[in-house]
Amino acid sequence: MKELCNILSVKFSTLQILWIIKSSCLCSQIVEEVKKVKHDMRIWSLGRAKLWL
């Protein structure tokens, strides 16, 4: 990550770097949330399936 930031700092202004870092953090947060929701849904469906058995 540090190397990437160094490369970016050469190519972009500080403002752009901050925006890129913020965006990538936001993206990974969204991905984590989606994973969590999918996991919860799977557990919930399994629970419902067991109730029907």
For the chain, which residues make up each domain, given as ranges? 23-53
Q: H or E element: which one contains 36?
A: helix 14-52
Instruction: Give the angle 10-25-23 at the CA atoms, nearest 5°.
Output: 65
Q: Identify the pLDDT of residue 10.
A: 65
Residue type, 4: L
Q: Identify the pLDDT of residue 13.
A: 67
pLDDT over 80 at 2, yes or no: no
- At residue 24, φ and ψ (nearest 5 deg) are -65, -35
pTM: 0.44
Rounded to whole angstroms, the Cα distance separating 32 from 11 reads 29
Rounded to whole angstroms, the Cα distance separating 9 from 3 reads 10
Q: For residue range 11-51, list pLDDT tens digits in order.
A: 666 777 678 778 887 778 878 888 888 888 888 888 877 77
Q: Identify the pLDDT of residue 20.
A: 76
Q: Identify the pLDDT of residue 1.
A: 62
